[in-house]
């Protein structure tokens, strides 16, 4: 059930341009305390006026005095990045929720990180962590142009033998096949970036039977012909049965019944609403779980996923 989701008050203590169209925003606890602990791959919710947006943490988890996110200005976005770029100022108080992590770093023999544009943000703490663990890694980093690629210069200068910065206007599309074919057995692949890159690397990894971990900023496209039927959800703790109508999500139906469940994005990208499945088969429609995790059928994102079986029993 829901944990305490009272947002934490933070103060903006830094805002600086880190690439064309990208600002890094640094936050400290408004009352001078430590910031919450987090692991590489985690994100926080920024409460920006009346909208809430998720941004990956790109600082150092060992720094307990501040949290940093980097935000790309998206002129076609839904207002979150415009607020950060145009309105947010050093000294402002801003509520945050989290950190939460739906893109955790697993243990592997070696790592390939693939970033597209602002998708570099969750990968920066990851590659720092594996570098500290002295595990082999490479970063393949693409973007529109070199000037738009946050942290590219620092990363390439610090790790010249591990980082390949490949702006599209100089090199064309990333050569995923070459990078994947060079992997040793036991390697883990982590990717974050725009949807075409994620789809390309998903297809390439599937063809090679490689396990891929991705983080999406926007929801994966759902097959418009996918069936939408009503089904029942049973709450394991009470035996209560809730009908999920065709027009609503599991989350909607539970809220209608007064059952509080943690959530954030409501579009299947953040992982906050993940619930364990005890019986029944989910119809996974989220952008968080890997193919293997989906096949295990033991968890689902209740804001978007539905049920293949007439009833599904959730660990609620």
Q: Could you give the CA distance from residue 57 to residue 121 in angstroms, rounded to a whole number? A: 7
CB of 158 to ligand FES, least distance (A): 33
Cβ proximity to ligand FES: between 113 and 263 the closer is 263
CB of 124 to ligand FES, least distance (A): 22
Q: Could you give the CA distance from residue 56 to residue 126 in angstroms, rounded to a whole number? A: 11
CB of 157 to ligand FES, least distance (A): 36
Q: Could you give the CA distance from residue 220 to residue 287 in angstroms, rounded to a whole number? A: 6
Cβ proximity to ligand FES: between 23 and 300 the closer is 300
In the chain, which ranges are continuous DSSP H helix? Answer: 80-86, 120-132, 152-158, 168-171, 176-181, 195-208, 250-256, 291-296
**Beta strand 311-314 pairing with 231-235:** parallel
Cβ proximity to ligand FES: between 212 and 273 the closer is 273
CB of 186 to ligand FES, least distance (A): 30
Cβ proximity to ligand FES: between 101 and 148 the closer is 101
* Tally of CB atoms within 10 A around 49: 11
CB of 17 to ligand FES, least distance (A): 29
Q: Could you give the CA distance from residue 294 to residue 71 in angstroms, rounded to a whole number? A: 30
CB of 57 to ligand FES, least distance (A): 17
Cβ proximity to ligand FES: between 24 and 301 the closer is 301
Cβ proximity to ligand FES: between 190 and 263 the closer is 263
Q: Could you give the CA distance from residue 64 to residue 37 in angstroms, rounded to a whole number? A: 7
Cβ proximity to ligand FES: between 265 and 299 the closer is 265
Residue with tokens 């692949």: 189
CB of 187 to ligand FES, least distance (A): 27
Q: What are phi and psi of 201, to 5 degrees?
A: -75, -30
CB of 3 to ligand FES, least distance (A): 14
**Tell me, what DSSP letter sits at residue 308?**
S
Locate the DSSP E strands across the chain. Answer: 8-19, 22-29, 43-48, 51-56, 67-72, 93-100, 110-116, 137-143, 163-167, 187-192, 212-215, 231-235, 241-244, 274-279, 282-283, 299-301, 306-307, 311-314
Cβ proximity to ligand FES: between 68 and 269 the closer is 269
Encoded tokens for 105: 């770093």
Residues with Cβ within 8 Å of residue 57, at least 6 apart in sequence: 38, 42, 43, 44, 67, 68, 69, 99, 121, 122, 125
Binding site for ligand FES (CB under 6 A): 263-266, 268-273, 286, 288, 301, 303
């Amino acid at each position: 059930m829901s944990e305490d989701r009272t947002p934490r008050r933070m103060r903006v203590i830094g805002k600086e341009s880190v690439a064309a169209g990208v600002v890094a925003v640094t936050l400290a606890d408004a009352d001078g305390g430590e910031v919450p602990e987090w692991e590489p791959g985690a994100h926080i919710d920024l409460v920006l006026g009346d909208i809430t947006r998720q941004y990956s943490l790109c600082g150092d988890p060992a720094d307990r005095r501040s949290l940093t996110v980097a935000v790309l200005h998206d002129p076609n976005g839904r207002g979150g990045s415009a607020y950060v770029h145009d309105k947010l100022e050093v000294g402002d108080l801003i509520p945050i929720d989290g950190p939460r992590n739906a893109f955790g770093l697993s243990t592997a023999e070696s790592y390939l990180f693939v970033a597209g544009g602002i998708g570099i943000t969750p990968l920066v703490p990851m590659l720092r962590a594996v570098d500290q663990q002295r595990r082999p890694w490479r970063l393949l980093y693409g973007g529109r142009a070199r000037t738009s690629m946050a942290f590219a210069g620092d990363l390439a200068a610090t790790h010249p033998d591990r980082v390949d910065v490949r702006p599209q206007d100089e090199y064309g599309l990333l050569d995923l096949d070459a990078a994947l074919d060079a992997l040793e057995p036991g390697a883990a692949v982590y990717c974050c970036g725009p949807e075409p890159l994620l789809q390309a690397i998903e297809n390439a990894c599937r063809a090679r039977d490689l396990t891929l971990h991705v983080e999406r900023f926007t929801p994966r496209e759902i097959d418009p012909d996918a069936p939408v039927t009503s089904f029942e959800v049973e709450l394991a703790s009470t035996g209560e049965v809730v009908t999920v109508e065709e027009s609503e999500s599991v989350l909607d139906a539970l809220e209608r019944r007064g059952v509080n469940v943690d959530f954030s994005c409501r579009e299947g990208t953040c992982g906050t609403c993940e619930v364990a499945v005890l019986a029944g088969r989910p119809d996974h429609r989220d952008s968080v779980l890997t193919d293997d995790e989906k096949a295990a059928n033991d968890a689902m994102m209740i804001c978007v996923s539905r049920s293949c079986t007439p009833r599904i029993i959730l660990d609620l």
